[in-house]
Chain A
C-alpha cells in the first residue's frame, strides 16, 4: 500500500477530518455551481448593480430567518395587470382604457416601498393615466394622475403629497385602516385601477406594480438592492482559488528554494538565509495595503504580491532543518553516483521526501489566505469588480449594518468564512497527526 492511500485510510478514523473534508467538498460543489450558473463576466456585471436589481427591496433580510422566528413579513410582490381590458369610452383617434392590478396581501408587516413601473408604447402623444388605490374594505385613495413617458417609474412610497394626505408613509397608509391610531395591516385583496387615456389607436400601456418586501430569498439584499446570494455564491470560488493558489504558490516555492539552498550550500545557502531574514522584517499586510493604494486592488495582483512575499517566509528555516539530514542520506548519494543532475536531485529526490510533512501545513495555510483576502476587502482594498465575501462584509461595515440591525448582512458572509476556515483547519489538524509521526502516538 502506498503511503498516500495508507494515510487516507488512517485519516478516515478522525471524525473531524471527515467533517472537514465534507465541508470542503460542499464548498467545492458550491464553487463549481457558481462558476457554471453565473459566468465570470455575468457575475461582474451583476455586482456592478443597476437596472437588474430594481425589482428587489433595499436591505431585506432573508425570508427564512423571519419565518423561523415566527414572523410573517411580506416578500416582494410583483403584480402585472389583469388580462381583462375594459374599454370605457372609445373616441375619435383614441380610447380610454381601464386596467386593474390586483393582489392578495395578508402579511404582518407593511411593504418597504411601493413602485409602479409603466411601460408605454406610442408614437407622438404620450398616454395619460389616473391611478386609484382600492383597499380590501372598499375604501379608495386617489393616487393622482400623470402623463406617461416611454418608461416611467412612479415612486408611490416617495410621494410626499400623498404622505401628507394619508398622515403616514404611503406604503403604510395604503395598506392600513385610514382612521386607526396604530397602523395595522388590513389583510385581503388590494386593487390598483389605472384609467388610461390613449391618444393613438395603437397606443399601449403595460403596468407593473412592485410592493417591495421586508424579506428576500435565502440571503437577503444589500443597500443597492443587490441579491446577496450572488456575492455569497461567487465569493466561494474566489476565496478557494485565492487560498489555494496562495498556499500552493508559497509552500512549493519555499520548499524548492529551501531544498536548493541545502543542496548547493555555500553562498547560495547564505544568500537565501539572509533574504529570509529580510523578509521576516517586511510587514505583509502594510505592504499589501501600500500596493493596493498605489497601484491597483485587483485580486490577482494581490495574489501575486502575497506569493512573492511568501517565497522567502520563515518556513524556509524549518524546511532547511528538515532537509539538512536528508542531504546526507544514502539514496541521494546513490542518485549522485548514477549521475543525476543537481536540479534533478533537488526536485525529484529532496522535495518529495518532505512533502508529506508539508501537507498539513499547506492545508492549514489555505484559510489564512482566505481570511487575508477578506481582511483586505474589509479594509476597502477588495477587488474592484469581483464580488467576494470580504467585500460584502466591507459594505455591511460601511453601511453600519449592525447598528441598523441588518445582522444577516454580516452573519452570512462571516459564517461562510468561518466554515471555510473550519473545514480546512479540521482537515489540516487531522492530517498533521497522520503525517507527523512524532505526534501520532500522542
Chain B
C-alpha cells in the first residue's frame, strides 16, 4: 500500500516536472512566434512610413505641450519658444534614433509593442478619458470576452451533446435534417444578425436593436445584468445559428468514426450501458481533439467578432476597430492587431497546455514528440 502510494507520488512528480518542461518550451516557442507576428505587423504598418510619421507627430505635440505648460518659458517670445520646441524635438528624434535606418528602429518598436506600450491615440479616447491606446483597448476587452465567451461555450456544449445523441441514432430524420442544415453555416454570424435585428427588433420589437445596456443604465445590479442579458440575446443567437449546425455535423461525424472502434464494439458486446460507453469509451479518448477544435474555433471567432459587434453596436474590440477605421486612428488599429495577436497566442498556449494535461503521450514523453 505505502509502496504504491510513494510510487504514485513519484509518478505525479515526474508528470509535473515533464509538464513544466513542456509548458516552458511551448511558452518560449509562442513568445518567439508572437515576436515574429508583431514584427511583421510593424513592417506592414510601416511600409508607408506611417509609424515614423506617427512617432514624429507625437514627439512634436509632447514637446510643444511640455514647453507651453512650463511657466518658466511663458515670458519668452514665440520665436524663441518655437526654437526651444524644435530643439526638444531634435533631441527626442536623436534619442529615438528616428534619423537612423528603419531596420534598427523596428526592433525598438517591437520591444515597445511587446511590452504593450502602444502609444497614444490620435483622435480617440477611452470612456474614462484616457488617450493611451492600451487603456482604450483594455476597456473594451471585457465586453468582447463576455459576448464571445458565452456564445462559444453555448455552441460548444450544445454541439457536442447533440452530436453524441445524433451519432447514436444516425440515419434518423433528425440526423438527416441536421446534415441538410449544415450548409447554413457558410454565412457568418453578423449576416444572421442583420436578419435577427430585422425580425426580432424591428418587425416584432422583442429585443433591443443594439448596444450593451439600456440607456440610461439601470442603477440596480440585477436590473443591470438583466438588461445586459436582453441585449446579448440577439448577438449570441446570431452566432449560435451560424455555428451550431456545422459544429453538430462535424462532431457527429467525428463521434461516428470513433464509435466504430473495436474497443467500443467490445464494450457494447459486454452490455455496458450507453451512458457509460459514451463517457468512458468515446468521450475520454477523444477529449484532446475536442478541446483542440474548441480552441481553434475560438481563434476563428476572434476575427468574426469585429463585424458582429459592429452590426449589434456592441461596445467591444470589434466596434473599437471599426471606430478606429472611421477616425483613421493608426495607433489604435496597430494596437488592436497586436492585442489580437496576443489573444490568439494565449489561446494557442491554453490549447497546448490542455493538450499536455489531457494527452498522456505528452505527459510521459515530456513533450519530446
Task: Find chain B residues with CB under 8 A from A284 CB.
Answer: 303
Q: Any chain B CB within 8 A of the CB of A310?
A: no
Per-residue contact bits, chain A 412-442, to B (CB 8 Å; 1 contact, 0 not): 0010011001101110110000000011001
Contact A422 B303 (CB under 8 A): no
Given A294-B48, A421-B186, the answer on whether A375 and B325 have CB atoms closer than 8 Å is no
B contact residues, total (Cβ < 8 Å)? 59
A interface list, Cβ under 8 A from B: 16, 20, 274, 277-278, 280-287, 289-295, 314, 364, 367-368, 371, 374-375, 378-381, 393, 397, 402-403, 405, 407, 410-411, 414, 417-418, 421-422, 424-426, 428-429, 438-439, 442
Task: Find chain A residues with CB under 8 A from B34 CB.
Answer: 281
CA distance A16 to B330 in the complex (A): 46
Task: Find chain A residues with CB under 8 A from B207 CB.
Answer: none
Contact A283 B183 (CB under 8 A): no
Contact B44 A286 (CB under 8 A): no
Partner of B306, one of A285, A293, A294: A285
Per-residue contact bits, chain B 311-329, to A (CB 8 Å; 1 contact, 0 not): 1000000000110111010
Q: Any chain A CB within 8 A of the CB of B110?
A: no
Shortest Cβ distance from residue B183 to the other chain A in the assembled complex, whole angstroms: 3
Contact B185 A425 (CB under 8 A): yes
Contact B48 A281 (CB under 8 A): no
Task: Find chain A residues with CB under 8 A from B202 CB.
Answer: 402-403, 405
CA distance A7 to B243 in the complex (A): 29
Contact A277 B33 (CB under 8 A): yes
Shortest Cβ distance from residue A250 to the other chain B in the assembled complex, whole angstroms: 15
CA distance A262 to B343 in the complex (A): 30
Q: Any chain A CB within 8 A of the CB of B153?
A: no
Shortest Cβ distance from residue B337 to the other chain A in the assembled complex, whole angstroms: 5
Contact A380 B29 (CB under 8 A): no
Which 7 pairs across A and B sit closest by C-beta, in order of nearness?
A425-B183, A421-B186, A283-B340, A425-B186, A285-B303, A367-B186, A281-B37
B interface list, Cβ under 8 A from A: 29-30, 33-34, 36-37, 40-41, 44-45, 47-48, 50, 170, 179-180, 182-188, 190-191, 194-195, 197-198, 202, 209, 253, 256-257, 296, 299, 302-304, 306-307, 310-311, 321-322, 324-326, 328, 330, 333-334, 336-337, 340-341, 344-345, 348
Contact A287 B337 (CB under 8 A): yes
Contact B257 A438 (CB under 8 A): yes
CA distance A16 to B182 in the complex (A): 11
Shortest Cβ distance from residue B60 to the other chain A in the assembled complex, whole angstroms: 21
Given A278-B37, A280-B344, the answer on whether A286 and B336 have CB atoms closer than 8 Å is yes
Shortest Cβ distance from residue B208 to the other chain A in the assembled complex, whole angstroms: 13
Contact A289 B186 (CB under 8 A): no
CA distance A411 to B121 in the complex (A): 37
Contact B188 A442 (CB under 8 A): no
Contact B325 A289 (CB under 8 A): yes
Given A282-B40, A314-B296, the answer on whether A407 and B45 have CB atoms closer than 8 Å is no
Contact B194 A414 (CB under 8 A): yes
CA distance A407 to B37 in the complex (A): 42
Task: Find chain B residues with CB under 8 A from A367 CB.
Answer: 186-187
Given A287-B337, A289-B333, A402-B202, the answer on whether A378 and B325 have CB atoms closer than 8 Å is no
Select from chain B the residue with minimum beta-carbon distance to A19: B183
Query: What 17 new A-B contacts, CB under 8 Å, besides A286-B321, A286-B340, A378-B190?
Result: A281-B34, A282-B344, A285-B304, A286-B306, A289-B325, A294-B330, A368-B186, A378-B310, A379-B325, A402-B202, A414-B194, A418-B191, A421-B186, A422-B186, A425-B184, A429-B182, A442-B253
Task: Find chain B residues with CB under 8 A from A287 CB.
Answer: 41, 44, 337
Contact B321 A278 (CB under 8 A): no
CA distance A417 to B253 in the complex (A): 28
Contact A291 B337 (CB under 8 A): no
Contact B33 A281 (CB under 8 A): yes
